[in-house]
Amino acid sequence: MKQIISIELYKIFRRPRTYIAFGAIAALIMVIQFGLKMDGQSYAGFLMKDINDTLTVDGNVLNGYLICYILLQLLLVHVPLLVALIAADMISGEANLGTLRLLFTTPYSRTQWVVGKFIAASIYTIVLLIWLAILALFLSMWVFGTDDLFLMKSNYVVLIQEKDVLWRYVGAFVFASFSLLTVTSLGFLMSSIANNSIGPIVGTMSAIVFFTILSTLNIPLFSIIKPYLFTTHMNNWKEFFDIKVDDNNEAIFGTILNLPKIKTSLIVLTVHIILFVSASVIITKRKDILS
């Protein structure tokens, strides 16, 4: 298995296509950071315009922690599409290229190949997420400095002390890795069904868009299935930034308002990963390699 994983990783990182995602993330983040650095104060003023009369905020509001939060809100919708570019091509791309028959005539079972390829694609996904973390969090911290995190939610304001922020980002990125691994496993499932490169990539992206729409629509008919859709849970990394308050409405250091919601989401996402990968194994094992 180690051999398969190392070979698959070697192939992934030798392909020029792999670096599109790294380049796209870097470009997007740096453009946004540049914009906020140049004209951040007017952006902060826009954010605060509704509460300026009732609240006075001292310090550096537009700090690295807030920039990272803004970037994650923007990018964690798009990164799954970049992940699909690689994951959805892992099996079908080889079928299309004709190399799948070379792999499947080696002394490893198809189950070993599918699991090995999934692990390699997962490592790629996590490396991509680490790259995102380095640029969105650490580069922002370096460029914009650090201070308390001030977040405007839909009908309330959250203020998290500077020392209470970093671990929340670690939690949020770990959670995001589960979300992205779900996308990876969905891409894998699509990849095991088709014999061409484009179909599974488009299929994965379409499935994400379709289920995201179902998750966000407030139609009672869909309310029954919403809790079971992976897209309902993918954005729950934000729960790490909702903090418990005491009787005086003071934030309680080191707490999370709705920890059970995070746990439930992680369970739902993990079940999806297991189901998608298991289905990929079964489909690939039964398949005749005719390409």
Partner 1 sequence: MAVIQVQDLSKHFGTLKAVDQLSFSVNAGEVFGFLGQNGSGKSTTIRMLLSLIHPTSGHIELFGKSMESNRNEILEEVGAIIERPDLYPYLTAKEHLQLFGKLRSKQINAASINDTLIKVGLFERANDKVQTFSLGMKQRLGIAIALVHNPSLIILDEPTNGLDPQGISDIRNLIKQLAKQEGKTILVSSHLLSEIEQMATQIMIIHKGQKIAEGPIQKLLDPTKMIVHIKTINDVQTLQVILSGSFSNYLLPRTDGIYLCMPDYEIPLLNASLVNAGVGLIGVETRNSLEDYFLQVTSNSN
Give the interface with partner 1 as residue ranges (CB under 8 A): 3-4, 7, 10-11, 14-16, 97-99, 101-109, 286, 288-290
Q: Which of 102, 88, 78 lies closest to 179 in space, CA to CA? A: 78
Q: Which is nearer to partner 1, 49 or 286 (CB)?
A: 286
Based on its alpha-carbon atoms, the radius of gyration of the chain, rounded to whole angstroms, reads: 21
For residue 104, the minimal CB distance to partner 1 (Å) is: 6
Which contacts (CB < 8 Å, 24+ apart) does range 194-202 have? Answer: 194/92, 194/95, 195/92, 195/95, 195/96, 195/291, 196/92, 196/95, 196/96, 197/89, 197/92, 197/93, 197/96, 199/92, 200/88, 200/89, 200/92, 201/84, 201/85, 201/88, 201/89
CB neighbours (10 Å) of residue 9? 17
For residue 22, the minimal CB distance to partner 1 (Å) is: 16
For residue 94, the minimal CB distance to partner 1 (Å) is: 9
Tokens (6 digits) for 143:
């460029």
Q: Which is nearer to partner 1, 219 or 290 (CB)?
A: 290
Q: How far apart are CA 291 and CA 289, in angstroms?
A: 6
Q: Which is nearer to partner 1, 59 or 98 (CB)?
A: 98
For residue 176, the minimal CB distance to partner 1 (Å) is: 29
Q: Which is nearer to partner 1, 18 or 60 (CB)?
A: 18
Q: Which is nearer to partner 1, 30 or 198 (CB)?
A: 198
For residue 284, the minimal CB distance to partner 1 (Å) is: 12
For residue 10, the minimal CB distance to partner 1 (Å) is: 7
Q: Which is nearer to partner 1, 9 or 32 (CB)?
A: 9
289 CA to centre of own chain: 33
